C-alpha cells in the first residue's frame, strides 16, 4: 500500500518537478496554432507517425508511451501522463518536443539512429493547439 501511494505521488509530481528542477522557460515555446478543430486523427497522428512512432508504438514502446493511438497518447508513459488536455504548457510532451528542459528528455533525441529531425515550430504549435483544445 505504501509503495502504491509513493508511486502515485511520484507520478503526480513528475510534471511539477520537471518545471521546478529545470526552471523551464515556457516563453521559449512556439505559440499554439490558430487552427480550430484540431484532431488527433486528422492533424496529430501524421506528425506522430513521421517523428515519434518508430520508437513509441508496438508491443514494447519506449518508456511505455504509445503514440500510435489517441488512447495511448492520453494514457501516457511509465512515469505518468505526458499530455494535460486543455493546457499545453504543462504537458511534458510539448516540453520534450520543443527541446526544453533536460537534454536527455528531448524528443526526438538529438543524433538519433533513425535521423529523425526535431519537430518544427509549426508542428509544435499544432500539437499545442490540439492539447489546448482538449486533445481529441
Residue 5 in this model has a pLDDT that exceeds 70:
no
Q: By C-alpha distance, which of 24, 67, 23, 75 is closest to 45?
A: 67
Summarised one tens digit per residue, pLDDT across range 90-112 is: 999 999 999 998 899 999 999 99
Alpha carbon 57 to its chain's center: 14
Summarised one tens digit per residue, pLDDT across range 49-64 is: 999 999 999 999 999 9
Number of H helices, E strands in the chain: 5, 0
pTM above 0.95, yes or no: no
Amino acid at each position: 500500500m505504501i509503495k502504491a501511494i509513493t508511486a502515485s505521488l511520484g507520478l503526480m509530481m513528475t510534471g511539477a518537478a520537471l518545471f521546478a528542477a529545470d526552471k523551464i522557460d515556457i516563453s521559449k515555446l512556439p505559440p499554439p496554432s490558430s487552427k480550430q478543430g484540431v484532431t488527433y486523427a486528422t492533424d496529430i497522428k501524421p506528425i506522430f507517425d513521421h517523428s515519434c512512432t518508430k520508437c513509441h508504438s508496438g508491443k514494447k514502446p519506449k518508456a511505455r508511451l504509445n503514440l500510435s493511438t489517441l488512447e495511448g497518447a492520453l494514457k501516457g508513459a511509465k512515469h505518468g501522463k505526458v499530455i494535460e488536455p486543455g493546457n499545453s504548457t504543462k504537458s511534458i510532451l510539448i516540453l520534450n518536443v520543443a527541446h526544453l528542459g533536460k537534454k536527455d528528455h528531448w524528443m526526438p533525441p538529438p543524433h538519433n539512429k533513425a535521423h529523425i529531425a526535431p519537430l518544427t515550430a509549426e508542428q509544435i504549435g499544432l500539437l499545442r493547439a490540439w492539447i489546448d483544445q482538449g486533445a481529441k
